[in-house]
Chain A
Amino acid sequence: NAGVTQTPKFQVLKTGQSMTLQCAQDMNHEYMSWYRQDPGMGLRLIHYSVGAGITDQGEVPNGYNVSRSTTEDFPLRLLSAAPSQTSVYFCASSYSTQGYEQYFGPGTRLTVT
């Protein structure tokens, strides 16, 4: 049972490049989400999914796309990277959206130059 896995761990992009951050969970969780963590700002929700085929926007969705074709995978796509997207990105999953705690991946540290 690997829990929540994220790849890559580190990434450097040039402005305008695109890339996909991968997230997978093996706990059969319905709810998955992407956050970004910036100093002094806590975690901010980018996108989330309550099940395969269902996604919705969080607090800071601009510049990011998601899809959820399977229960296990929830990739985050940066369409055209900008320096403002330099951050640490965390994927999380939970059994449902109610009283269940979220399990977090180890994070991806992204730098956009």
Chain B
Amino acid sequence: AQSVAQPEDQVKVAEGNPLTVKCTYSVSGNPYLFWYVQYPNRGLQFLLKYITGDNLVKGSYGFEAEFNKSQTSFHLKKPSALVSDSALYFCAVRDITSGYSTLTFGKGTMLLVSP
């Protein structure tokens, strides 16, 4: 079975400071990893993904994430937060060795960026 943990329900940072939203995963094989963002009363939007290759993945809106196989983590980062980054962030994983496997989401982390 595959699973995702987002250990923080909420992350607060001040505008201009770096931000990190944590994600750890568990799969029996190798993972595909994704980050999505949800703004209030909207659907989820894709931010970035790790499939293979470079462990540092760059995505939309200046976000990046680092795949760490030994720690089974895929933390989302941004060097300088904006107030407009305030939203709900979801990490998701798919086990690529499981055929038509499904995507499993974490419970989400609310990011609050103060002016």
Tell me the A residues contacting B by CB distance below 8 Å: 4, 33, 35, 40-45, 48, 50, 56, 58-59, 90, 92, 97-99, 101-107
Q: Write out the residue numbers on chain A whose beta carbons fall within 8 Å of the beta carbon of B49.
A: 99, 101
List the B residue with the shortest CB-CB distance to A96: B100
Q: Write out the residue numbers on chain B whose beta carbons fall within 8 Å of the beta carbon of A40.
A: 9, 107
Number of interface residues of B (CB under 8 A): 24
Interface of B is mostly: loop
Question: Are A90 and B44 CB-contacts (below 8 A) given A58-B102, A102-B103?
Answer: yes
Give Cα distance in the complex from A68 to B45, angstroms: 24
Determine which of A41, A45, A90, A98 lies in contact with B32 in the assembled complex, contact meaning CB atoms within 8 Å.
A98
Question: Are A101 and B43 CB-contacts (below 8 A) given A45-B102, A48-B102?
Answer: no
Q: Write out the residue numbers on chain B whose beta carbons fall within 8 Å of the beta carbon of A101.
A: 34, 46, 49
Determine which of B32, B43, B106 lies in contact with A99 in the assembled complex, contact meaning CB atoms within 8 Å.
B32
Contacting A at CB under 8 A, from B54-103, are 90, 94, 96, 100-103
Give Cα distance in the complex from A105 to B43, angstroms: 6
User: In the complex, are the beta carbons of A102 and B46 less than 8 A apart?
Assistant: yes
List the B residue with the shortest CB-CB distance to A109: B41
Give Cα distance in the complex from A48 to B102, angstroms: 8
Q: Write out the residue numbers on chain B whose beta carbons fall within 8 Å of the beta carbon of A43.
A: 44, 90, 105
User: In the complex, are the beta carbons of B100 and A50 less than 8 A apart?
Assistant: yes
Could you jot down 18 A-B contacts, CB within 8 Å? A33-B102, A35-B105, A40-B9, A41-B107, A42-B90, A42-B108, A45-B103, A48-B102, A90-B44, A97-B102, A98-B94, A99-B32, A99-B51, A102-B44, A102-B46, A104-B43, A104-B44, A107-B42
